[in-house]
Amino acid sequence: MQLDDRKLKILQAIIRNYLETGEPVGSRTISKYTDLNLSSATIRNEMSDLEEMGYIVQPHTSAGRIPSDKGYRLYVDTMLEERVQEIDNMKEQLESKADRIELLLQHVAKLLAVNTNYATMVTRPQYKHKKVKFIQLSEVDESSLLTVIVIEGNIVKNKIITVRELLDRETVLKLNILMNTFLTGLDLTEINMAVIQKMKEQAGEYAGLVGDLLNAIGEAVAEEDDLGIYTSGATNILKYPELSDREKASELLYTFEEKKQLTRLINDTAEDANDRGIQVYIGAETPVESMKDCSLVTATYEIEEGVYGKIGIVGPKRMDYEKVVSTLQTLMVELDEIFKRKT
């Protein structure tokens, strides 16, 4: 069967209506809702066809139709258009935070959540090779040595380590130079036993301390990985009846609270990133089990050449795709500008 123009219009009308109401849509509604001037009977015939073709489903005989995953898919693939959006204040708010990337991203998540009424998540940019840019050791007091590590993208990590013996100023200086000469420019995979061995040799009596320092650096940088996800608006999920029954809501909210599962989102969707931009996952298409009754829209932002992060919006399948996509598009442009200006 052919999906002609009229069928497409009817499908569109069904989906639009369902997005608004969340209720199955009947033929009479469409008959009035569209400007096709067709009777409900004709619509019924067309709907019957659309159902046969798999774009819509009936929850039970004698109910209206709701879009199937395939229907949504067609909708987002063919029907999305640019939408003008008033997010000027969003722009202002973002600029004020441009210098603290974590705060900025957290804020982005929040803004999106407030604007869309869906749950949102933002991942920190993932540096594939985290090169050490700079290391600074300083004595804070007699027994504490502060280690600050700056890695690519001006991400700053720090760790305080306890030293057994008092260090004089000169030793600290020496250690500083040692650490920087050896480590600056290396990424973490390059810090292998050979390098470590060499460093320890050079350090002489402070070999033990150097070991501690390296551990501290390792830990501080590793921390980065599991803390790179910011979420907001998770409770918005409870606003949608089809997601807010005990079981589903609990699972979903837990996913957002724990965040761990969300990493799969980044990894599993990373491969699609060659055609970067905005991706829509509907129902079972999502890589996270607990979202099987949701839709997920992700966007990829680029903070600098080759360094990407993801933004995701999770809502019911009857999510307002147009709004979400256009909001994301605008936001991407915004972020691009902010990052460009910075570097």
Partner DNA sequence: TGTTAGCACTCTATAAGGTTGAGTGCTAAC
Partner DNA sequence: GTTAGCACTCAACCTTATAGAGTGCTAACA
Q: Please answer whether residues 287 and 268 qualify as being in contact, where contact means their C-beta atoms are separated by less than 8 angstroms.
A: yes
Q: Give whichever of 60 and 246 is closer to its own copies, judged by the CB atom.
A: 246
Q: Does 39 bind DNA (CB under 7 A)?
A: yes
Q: Which of 42, 85, 136, 290 binds its own copies (CB under 8 A)?
A: 136
Q: Where are the beta strands (DSSP E) in 46-200?
A: 56-57, 66-67, 119-123, 132-141, 144-151, 155-162
Which of DNA, its own copies, none sits in contact with 289, Cβ below 5 to 8 A by type?
none
Q: Does 45 bind its own copies (CB under 8 A)?
A: no
From residue 237, alpha-carbon distances to 72, 260, 309, 326, 332 in Å are: 19, 19, 24, 21, 24
Site string for its own copies, 250-269 (x = CB under 8 A): x--xx--x------------
Distance CA 112, CA 119 (A): 8
Q: Does 242 bind DNA (CB under 7 A)?
A: no
Q: Does 45 bind DNA (CB under 7 A)?
A: yes
Q: Does 203 bind DNA (CB under 7 A)?
A: no
Q: Which two tokens stand for residue 138?
A: 């300083």
**3-state class of 228 per DSSP?**
coil
Q: Does 12 bind DNA (CB under 7 A)?
A: no
Q: Does 24 bind DNA (CB under 7 A)?
A: yes
Distance CA 240, CA 238 (A): 5
Q: CA nearest 302: which of 263, 334, 259? A: 334
**3-state class of 229 per DSSP?**
strand
Which of its own copies, DNA, none sits in contact with 130, Cβ below 5 to 8 A by type?
none
Q: How far apart are the first and last CA of the chain?
A: 54
Q: Which of 57, 80, 150, 195 binds its own copies (CB under 8 A)?
A: 150
Q: Does 63 bind DNA (CB under 7 A)?
A: yes
Q: Does 235 bind its own copies (CB under 8 A)?
A: yes
Binding residues for its own copies, rule: CB under 8 A, are 99-100, 103, 133-134, 136, 138, 140-141, 144, 146, 148, 150, 154, 156, 158-162, 223, 232-235, 238-239, 244, 246, 249-250, 253-254, 257
